[in-house]
């Protein structure tokens, strides 16, 4: 008995292109983000999903609609939101990103910590296990919930993930908005499987 999950990150936004960390601020998909979401529809046409959950932030809702509308029911869920950077929502990436290590357990001013994100994702996963056994579920959300899955499922630490990402991303001009896709299986025990993490 298991819930089969495929996770997608929303398409590129206008903030992504300006290297702005949106957080809980709503922002539009860019022209590139719209194309990515439409292209993804063709790339996953052979997959069958019983239901799609997405963050209730506009960029995730729009991505989900462009990819899945008319094919499967889409349900927005606030638990799938990006990390709330509080006073630093919609601030430049170069300001927000250096704060990430500190904000693993300490909340962003008037916002939340990455541990807070992990806790709401854990609650969402438990909800899936209780209500969607043997179902194929797609999730369309953001970077922080995806990283929370690494902590919850792969046993990684936030410090390892955050430090690894910061080192990896130095010198990378464009990295956001591509659809990172991962498939996981939630077992009842729980037994967690993480077959692959690819960029499509």
pLDDT in tens, 74-107: 999 999 999 999 999 999 999 999 999 999 999 9
Active-site residue, from 17, 28, 82, 94: 82
Active-site residue, from 10, 112, 142, 179: 10
82 is catalytic: yes
What residues does each domain of the chain span?
2-199
Task: Give residue-wise pLDDT tens across range 12-57.
Answer: 999 999 999 999 999 999 999 999 999 998 888 888 999 999 999 9
Class of domain 2-199: alpha beta
Quote the pTM value: 0.84
The two beta strands, 20-21 and 51-54, are unpaired
Check residue 3 and give its pLDDT.
86
Residues 6 or more apart whose Cβ sits within 8 Å of residue 15: 21, 22, 25, 27, 90
10 is catalytic: yes
């Amino acid at each position: 008995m298991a819930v089969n999950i495929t996770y997608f990150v929303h398409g590129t936004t206008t903030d992504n292109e300006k290297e702005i960390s949106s957080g809980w601020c709503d922002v539009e998909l860019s022209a590139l983000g719209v194309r990515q979401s439409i292209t993804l529809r063709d790339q996953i046409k052979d997959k069958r999903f019983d239901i799609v959950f997405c963050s209730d932030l506009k960029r995730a809702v729009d991505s989900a609609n462009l990819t899945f509308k008319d094919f499967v029911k889409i349900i927005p869920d606030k638990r799938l939101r990006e990390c709330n950077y509080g006073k630093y929502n919609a601030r430049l990436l170069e300001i927000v990103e250096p704060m990430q290590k500190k904000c693993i357990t300490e909340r962003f001013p008037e916002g939340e910590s990455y541990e807070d994100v992990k806790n709401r994702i854990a609650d969402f996963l438990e909800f899936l296990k209780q209500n969607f056994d043997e179902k194929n579920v797609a999730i369309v959300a953001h970077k922080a919930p995806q990283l929370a899955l690494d902590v919850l499922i792969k046993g990684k630490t936030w410090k390892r993930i955050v430090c690894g990402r910061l080192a990896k991303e130095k010198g990378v001009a464009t990295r956001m908005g591509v659809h990172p896709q991962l498939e996981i299986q939630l077992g009842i025990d729980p037994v967690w499987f993480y077959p692959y993490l690819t960029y499509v």
